[in-house]
Chain A
Amino acid sequence: MTVRRLASGGHIDRATPVRFQLEGRTLSGFQGDTLASALLANDVRIVGRSFKYHRPRGVLAASAQEPNALLTVGAGDRRTPNLPATLVDLFEGLVCERQNGWPSVERDVGSLLGLFSPLISAGFYYKTFMGPTRGAWMFYERWIRRTAGLGKATHRPDPSRYETEHRHTDVLIIGAGPAGMAAALAAGRAGSRVLLVEQEALVGGSLLHGAVGSADDRCGFGLLEQLAVLPTVELLTRTTAFGVYDGQTVGLVSRIPGAFGGSAEPPYARETLHVVRAQQIIYATGALEQPLVFGNNDLPGILLAGAVREYLHRFALRLGERVVVLSQHDSAWDTALDLAEAGAAVTVVEARDRVSDDLLARAAKRSVTVRLGAVPVTAHGSRAVRGVTVVALADHRTEYFACDLVAMSGGWTPTVQLTTHTGVKAVYDPALRVHVPGPLPANQQVVGAARGIVRNPLAEGHTAGERAARDCGYDGAVGVAADAHWADVPLMAAGVPRAPSVQGKAFVDFQSDVTVADIDLSLEDGFESPEHLKRYTALGMATDQGKNSHHNGLQLLAERRAKDVGSLGTTTHRPPYTPVTVGALAGRSVGLHFRPTRRTPMHDWHQENGATFIEAGPWLRPWYYRWAGADVATAYVNEMRLVRSSVGLSDVSSLGKIELTGPDVGLFLDRVYVNGFSSLAVGKARYGVMLNDDGTVLDDGTTARFGTHRYFMTTTTAQAGEVMSWLEFLLQTAWPDLRVQVVSVTDRWAAMSIAGPKSREVLAQALPQLDVSGAALPHMGVLEAEWDGRPIRVARLSFSGELAYEVYVPADHGIAMWTHLLDVGAPAGIRPYGLEALASLRIEKGHVAGIELDHRNTLADLGLGKMASRTKAYVGRELSQRSELVAADRWSLVGLELLEPSGTLRGGAILFADGEPMVGHGRGYITSVTWSTVHERLIALGLYQGGLAHVGEVVVCAYPLRGEQVKARIVSPMFIDPAGERLHA
């Protein structure tokens, strides 16, 4: 290839040169170049090495369909592999390298693989690498993985930022070529909201293939000017519609100029994901030119004819001096004539027997050599094309043409991918020999080349845009379509004819290195359907997703199997249309924003007063406090001691809270809980457990009655949302006759637990206007009042087994009450305690918590069987009686005390009876462990086969993951105060 940058023309700014680095070499181009055009301008012929055979490859195309020029752009933590150079805007300071060659792409040791090609044809790896030993594949895999893949990615975190926008629009138009722009114009004039998106940096589509100043060019600019004045039309360039989803939802990704690059990236979002909900969708996605299949058709210097023309007119690059144009379609002649006009010596080798006299005349005028009825056999050259052998179809005579550039056209296929994403299969048109969009729903239309025939894209677009707007209810005047002269151009992609035999490898899929021989091999092996062919050969599975291979592959398959292409079916197109950055899909939900963080009302106080936090689902809760120790193991024990000996304060705001009101609340709760609540007196609370319909435990909590028709339910932190939805489900779908209202008030109330022998005295001092004496507020009593002008609720409840109260105030009053209690209680020694100590206190008391409520356990498993009413029905009752759920040998709740002081108990240890062989699943496991400050030893809760029937027996706790086994004794899970004296103090 002898590349010349023309002195004028092109959409480039010759006044703004741009320097960039290729593998350390400084090169230059112009503002307006892509990386691909800049590489071509600098005579970089080899842009990469192919996947399997490591053949040298050059640029093939000018757009998103480019399969070969995949480069790594950027360095350090901005390194991005596999970017098509045709989509990378050139900018000052761009740094890039080519891929898949070692030691370099110019001189690649991997090309030796080509010598083994008969052995490494499609699917060869299924037939070998099985021996000699069983693990053999892992040995070979190490090397194969290194040759597979294209670019090398970095592990470093991505410094770039990505945004997500959610949009609604009336008319979404995908593609700003002539048809798309005309549609946008009509829809916008009618008054509808229009979003017009274009994947390239410039609008125009096929109009960009025309010279600057040409009719095409002027048409494009004209449309753009008219669009700019319409207030409801928004144009997004550098924006790819990558997927169409149900509900008329379309995913777009916009990239900033220089999005693919290095330090030139500005601090705002590199890419933006737009989730668009559109009333109407118009696909103006154009068509993709297809390569021709002949020997060595992958040599550098062989490009698509339309691309050659685009490089000429958009980038002012004449890519060769002696050009062979391989044609099956009139559009290739435009390339031939324009190149001749630019001073190249051109030969057109046309597969058809006849073309129009007009084309022949224009060719003659420019001294273009013409051969009709001839097709290519083989291209010649080793690292770049230097000639082509063609054969006349009539008499099989061959002829050789020396050249430095080949522009090939296999015709054009409509870009149908997006139209198929929601399940409408493309339909084969045998006259056009291409797949066209299938029957779309009424709110989706296709215009322009994407339909298969270029009729009058401006008129088509206009009509579609008007209809889309009208269907949305807009009736503004749309005027008439712009006038333009377009010949009807059926797109018609190549299938036949082709040379009867080829020499050298004839590539069907450049990226997966799939040749015609591979297709034949696939058929030989019996992989005949298009989907089997694809999976077996990997045709269409690389980054271009078949844009350059799907069509030719199907044509060849049909030919070989002597079937119609239409009868073969087709493979399904899947989103994304072009690859989408993972980070763009993640948007701002990264790092600490990956998921929302829920904080309690007293969070800031905890933060400032030495709390270490731990996640409890989405919540951050204080785990332990610095006053108690430097690490959790020390701190929780001291916090426990404090609670058992005097008084502590903990934040329990994350518990679910639900307000229930209405005449039927008691009845409702009786149905939902296993125990009774309609009989609960006003001013009292009761511990309740509710089951799933299947009889397993859903949740536990405490429900208090504040009025005849007013109850207040608490749930566990983890199940708050589940329980709320469950109650609403029952009320709205099963028992709509019940007069009950439920409201979630979890975030409305701050909640804290003050616990310990001195808790009453501190509370009384803190709330002197309330009577919290033992008589006025007995165990499980509740009261409502006011404090500091705001509501307050106090419940005498205990999770820990100590005398304890839960205090509820409005969330914005939380810190005030919290600090008030700490101030008033200071003389009594009050301090805050965290979740670890909370959990440990309840373990000593034998209360079950999240780890035991694992959806597998029944009430009886958890030692709560007696809670279930025998007189009333409750949700889950029937199925809780199924035979396996009441079997005697179920694993049920026990306590464990460590017998070997030098050992330790661990959650997750498996329990065996003392003396039995320790194999299999054991008889139980440890759920929770704590140091008992009361017994001064390690204790645990667990589940054991037969449960409390084995109290007193010795078990072995096996923990082979640490090589430990230790003996423990089964005891009652109520380690402290079984008579409840502390509770009833």
Chain B
Amino acid sequence: MLRIPCPHCGVRDYTEFRYAGDATKVRPTHGTDDVRAWHDHVFLFDNPKGAHREYWQHVQGCRQWLVLERDTATNTVGRAWLAREGAAS
């Protein structure tokens, strides 16, 4: 099964995590009045067949949200880092 390398807890089964999809989306600034920006952020997806950066929360461990690199066509898993450290790692 997918095994996710949590920076705190080591490589763990994906069943310990909660998935939240595409991590490359940039959330509009809080208070932005731009309905179009919010609509696009909430409802539109790249949904790539291939390289994906996505959010997983280690709910049965450190409860940190991670960004994980994974190829959606092969399920090859790459690096993971803490989301709070930014996607540009």
Contact = CB atoms under 8 A, between A and B. Distances in A.
Contact, chains A and B (beta carbon distance below 8 A): yes
Interface of A: 245-249, 275, 277, 422-423, 671, 693-694, 721, 725, 728-729, 732-736, 873, 875, 878-879, 881-882
Given A245-B1, A729-B20, A733-B27, A879 B39 contact: yes
B27 A734 contact: yes
Contact of B1 (A249, A423, A878): A249
B42 A694 contact: yes
B25 to A, nearest CB: 10
A693 B42 contact: yes
A78 to B, nearest CB: 32
Nearest to B27: A734
Contacts of A878: 32-35, 38
A732 B35 contact: no
Given A873-B31, A878-B32, A729 B42 contact: no
Given A246-B2, A247-B77, A728-B57, A733 B83 contact: yes
Interface string B39-53: 101110000000000
Nearest to A694: B42
A246 B57 contact: no
Interface residue range, chain B = 20 to 34
Nearest to B4: A247
Given A246-B2, A247-B1, A423 B74 contact: yes
Contacts of A729: 20, 55, 57, 65
A693 B42 CA distance: 7
20 contacts: A246-B1, A246-B2, A247-B2, A247-B75, A247-B77, A248-B3, A422-B75, A728-B57, A728-B63, A729-B65, A732-B82, A732-B84, A733-B23, A733-B55, A734-B27, A735-B30, A736-B83, A736-B84, A873-B31, A881-B35
Contacts of A875: 30
A246 B74 CA distance: 9
B57 A725 contact: yes
A423 B83 CA distance: 31
Given A671-B30, A734-B27, A736-B84, A693 B38 contact: yes
A242 to B, nearest CB: 14
A732 B32 CA distance: 19
A423 B30 CA distance: 43
A873 B1 contact: no
B27 A879 contact: no
Contact of B64 (A721, A732, A879, A881): A732
Nearest to B85: A736
Given A247-B1, A732-B65, 18 more contacts: A423-B74, A694-B42, A725-B57, A728-B65, A729-B20, A732-B64, A733-B27, A733-B55, A733-B65, A733-B83, A735-B30, A736-B84, A873-B31, A875-B30, A878-B32, A878-B34, A878-B38, A879-B35
Interface in B48-89: 55, 57, 59, 63-65, 74-75, 77, 82-84
A875 B32 CA distance: 10
A733 B31 CA distance: 16
A697 to B, nearest CB: 15
Nearest to B39: A879
B33 to A, nearest CB: 7
B3 A247 contact: yes
Contacts of A277: 3, 13
A357 to B, nearest CB: 51
A245 B14 CA distance: 13
Contacts of B64: 732
B65 A879 contact: no
A245 B38 CA distance: 38
A732 B55 CA distance: 11
A733 B33 contact: no
A725 B18 contact: yes
Contacts of A881: 35
A29 B23 CA distance: 64
Contacts of B43: 694
Nearest to B41: A693
B48 to A, nearest CB: 18
A195 B41 CA distance: 48
Contacts of B1: 245-247, 249, 275
Contacts of A246: 1-2, 75
Contacts of A879: 35, 38-39, 42
Contacts of B34: 878
- Ranked nearest first, the 10 interchain pairs of A and B with the lowest CB-CB distance are A873-B31, A247-B3, A736-B84, A732-B65, A246-B75, A878-B38, A249-B1, A733-B83, A732-B84, A734-B27
Contacts of A735: 30
A724 B77 CA distance: 27
Contacts of A275: 1
Nearest to B25: A733
Contacts of B20: 729
Contacts of B65: 728-729, 732-733
A882 B38 CA distance: 11
Nearest to A736: B84
B50 to A, nearest CB: 14
A837 B33 CA distance: 43
Given A671-B30, A873-B30, A882-B35, A732 B83 contact: yes
A247 to B, nearest CB: 4
Which of B18, B35, B65, B74 has the largest count of A CB atoms less than 10 A from its CB? B65
Contacts of A694: 42-43
Nearest to A251: B1
Contacts of B55: 729, 733
A736 B27 CA distance: 13
B83 A725 contact: no
A734 B26 CA distance: 8
Contacts of B74: 423
A127 B70 CA distance: 46
Nearest to B26: A734
A247 B70 CA distance: 12
A246 B72 CA distance: 12
Which of A671, A728, A733, A735 has the largest count of B CB atoms less than 10 A from its CB? A733
A725 B38 contact: no
B70 to A, nearest CB: 10
A211 B77 CA distance: 48
A237 to B, nearest CB: 25
B54 to A, nearest CB: 12
Which of A248, A249, A422, A732 has the largest count of B CB atoms less than 10 A from its CB? A732
A736 B85 CA distance: 9
A259 to B, nearest CB: 26
